[in-house]
Amino acid sequence: MLFGYAGRVLYVDLTTGKTHTEKLSEETAKKYIGGIGLGMHFYLSNSKAQTAPLSPENPLVLSLGPFAGTMFPTGGNGHAFISKSPQTGGVAEAVSHGTFGTELKRAGYDVVIITGQAKKPVYLWIDDDSVKLSDATKLWGKSAGETEDVLRDELGDYYIRVAAIGLAGEKQSKLATIVNDKTHAAGRTGLGAVMGSKNLKAIAVRGTHDVAVAKPTEFLEVVQDFHERMKGPAASKYRTIGSIENLTVNNNLTCMPTYNYSAAQFPNIAQISGEILNEHYITKIIACNSCAMRCEHEAIIRDGIYKGTMTRLEYDNVWALGPNCGVDQPNFIIKAAERCYYYGLDPVSVGVTISFVMDCYERGLLSQEQLDGVDAHFGNAGAVVSLVDKIGRREGVGELLADGVRVACERFGVSCE
Q: By three-state DSSP, how is residue 115 classified?
A: strand
- The whole-angstrom separation of Cα 8 and Cα 61 is 14
Q: How many residues does the chain have?
A: 417
Helix H or strand E segment including 23: strand 19-23
CA atoms within 13 A on the CB side of 31: 9
- For residue 176, the 8-state DSSP code is B
Which comes out higher in pLDDT, residue 76 or 135?
Answer: 135
Q: How confident is the model at residue 219 (pLDDT cuts 50, 70, 90)?
A: very high
Q: How confident is the model at residue 74 (pLDDT cuts 50, 70, 90)?
A: confident
192: nearest Cα among 228, 224, 168, 216: 168
- The whole-angstrom separation of Cα 284 and Cα 49 is 46
Q: How confident is the model at residue 238 (pLDDT cuts 50, 70, 90)?
A: confident
Cβ pair 202, 178 in contact under 8 A: no
The amino acid at 179: V
Q: By three-state DSSP, how is residue 380 classified?
A: coil
The answer on pLDDT for 75 being more than 80 is no
- The whole-angstrom separation of Cα 406 and Cα 89 is 13
Portion of the chain with pLDDT greater than 70, in percent: 100
- CATH class, range 8-206: alpha beta
pLDDT at 230: 87
Q: In what order do the strands lie in the sheet with 282-286?
A: 282-286, 296-300, 310-313
The pair phi, psi for residue 127, each rounded to 5°, is -125, 85
Average pLDDT, the chain: 95
Cβ pair 272, 337 in contact under 8 A: no
Domain ranges for the chain: 8-206, 231-412
- CATH class, range 231-412: mainly alpha
- The whole-angstrom separation of Cα 383 and Cα 391 is 12
Q: Which residues contact 131 (CB under 8 A, 6 or more apart)?
A: 10, 12, 19, 124, 125
Q: How confident is the model at residue 286 (pLDDT cuts 50, 70, 90)?
A: confident
Q: What is the pLDDT of residues 352-368, one digit of tens each?
A: 999 999 999 999 999 99
Work out the angle between the directed axes of helices 347-362 and 405-412 (0-180°, nearest 10): 40
- The whole-angstrom separation of Cα 120 and Cα 17 is 11
Quote helix, strand, coil % in the chain, to nearest 5: 40, 20, 40
The answer on pLDDT for 414 being more than 80 is no
pLDDT at 55: 97
Cβ pair 12, 117 in contact under 8 A: no
pLDDT at 4: 92
DSSP alpha helix (H) spans, 139-259:
144-155, 167-170, 191-197, 216-230, 236-239, 246-252
- The whole-angstrom separation of Cα 92 and Cα 189 is 6
pLDDT at 135: 98
Other C-beta atoms closer than 10 Å to the C-beta of 415 total 9
Q: What is the pLDDT of residues 335-345, one digit of tens each?
A: 999 999 999 99
Q: What is the pLDDT of residues 197-213, one digit of tens each?
A: 999 999 999 999 999 99
